[in-house]
Amino acid sequence: MALPLEILSKRVNPRCRILLVDDDTYLLELNAVALIRFGYDVDTAEDGAAAWQALHDINVNYNLLITDNKMPKVTGLELIRKMRSEEMALPVILTSGTIPTEELKQYPWLLLDATLSKPFTTVELLDTVKKVLRTTEGTIRSSQLKFRDYAMGDNHISQAKKPANASIQKHINPSHRILVVDDNMDTRQLTVDVLVGSGYEVEDAKDGAAGWEAFLAGNHYDLVVTDNKMPNMTGIDMIAKLRPACITVPIIMATEHLPTHEFARKPWLEPQATLQRPFANDDLLKAVKKVLGTGGGTMLT
């Protein structure tokens, strides 16, 4: 959404073009006016989806993205993940009432240049913008190379939240069908993106109960990648349902705390492979390739 002409006319000698994103229209206009008066050229968007469209406008080049995080349709983190998936090295300032520090540690390839905790003052905003633009000037190429060091595969585009086990993600020459089970939407989507980018056909489920329902619906999978601690049904509980039903699909458990004592007590529940979070995308792909290389899963009836 572009600002009204009477506001745009107030900018003084614009040096850089900024895309400002926030679903709070009052804060959006307040911060836009402050940036314009300081001499920047500003476009605004009311959510991540609108910002994603603006970033693909071939007639506009932005020097900086300033985005809120919690927004409808597409969050700030999802927007940034989409950008990095297309190797957009645009500098980013993330603003939020609660900075998602754990997610940022888990996904360092998002490459944020700065964060601002709400509420912040106009002076803090302008100082941060000035610092980021001064620091990143002329370093876009190095940022692209740094991103490639983190990213795996060709396609890591994050989508908005989809219904559990109802959406088959876009795939490239699929060779195996994988079900990803995780109650953390961001973690689940990242796993889906990495696998899709490596050519697999992928579906997702928000917890063990949804994963179990996917099998009850008659769906066939060659592999399941699952978290353990989830509401409604844990990963181990899902495995405990699959095995008596003679569903011999291979399983990789990817979780922060591996239930080793449970595996020792009930060895028939032990998956074909385990991954302890945090782990690199490369570790995930190696585990998937290794498990699938030993033979795909089959559903026995």
Do 138 and 270 belong together in one domain?
A: no
Instruction: For residue 97, give both structure tokens.
Output: 């009432």
- pTM attached to this predicted model: 0.45
Last-in-domain residue among 135, 150, 165: 150
Query: pLDDT for 265-284, tens place per residue?
Result: 888 888 999 999 888 888 99
Q: Looking at the structure, do residues 137 and 222 belong to the same domain, yes or no?
A: no
Domain of residue 261, CATH code? 3.40.50.2300
pLDDT of residue 225: 97
Same domain membership, residue 134 and residue 185: no
Residues 140, 144, 150, 154, CA torsion sign: positive
The reply to whether 172 falls in a domain is no
Statement to judge: residues 289 and 250 lie in one domain: yes
- Calculate the CA dihedral of residues 115, 118, 119, 120 and round it to 10 degrees: 10
Residues 259 and 213 both lie in one domain: yes
> Do 228 and 92 reside in the same domain of the chain?
no
Average the pLDDT over 121-138 and give the result. Answer: 82
pLDDT reading at 287 higher than 90? yes
Q: Is residue 167 part of a domain?
A: no
Residue 42: exposure state from Cβ atoms within 10 A (0-12, 13-18, ≥19): buried
Q: Which residue has the tokens 């572009």?
A: 2
Residues 6+ apart with CB under 8 A from 225: 178, 179, 180, 181, 191, 195, 251, 252, 254, 284, 288
Residue 168's pLDDT band, with cuts at 50, 70 and 90, is very low
Classify residue 165: in a domain, yes or no.
Answer: no
* 217 & 127 share domain: no
Write down how long the chain is.
301
Domain housing 265:
177-293
Tokens matching residue 3: 């600002």
Is there a domain that residue 171 lies in?
no
**Is 255 inside a domain boundary?**
yes
State yes or no: pLDDT of 170 exceeds 70.
no
H-type alpha helices, 89-159: 101-106, 122-136, 140-150
Question: Do 125 and 186 share a domain, yes or no?
Answer: no
Same domain for 186 and 141: no
Q: What is the mean pLDDT of the chain?
A: 78
Average pLDDT of 77-100? 84
Residue 160: inside a domain, yes or no? no
Total domain count for the chain? 2
112 and 225 in a single domain? The answer is no
The token pair at 103 is 């997610």
Give the pLDDT confidence of 8-60 residue by residue, as tens digits: 434 443 468 999 999 998 999 999 998 998 888 999 999 999 999 999 887 88
Contact yes or no for 74/162 (Cβ under 8 A): no
Single residue among 115, 150, 185 that ends a domain in this structure: 150
171-221 residue pLDDT tens: 333 468 999 999 998 889 989 988 988 888 999 999 999 999 998 888 889
Are residues 183 and 146 part of one domain? no
Q: Are 7 and 33 in contact (CB under 8 A)?
A: yes
What is the per-residue pLDDT for 12? 40
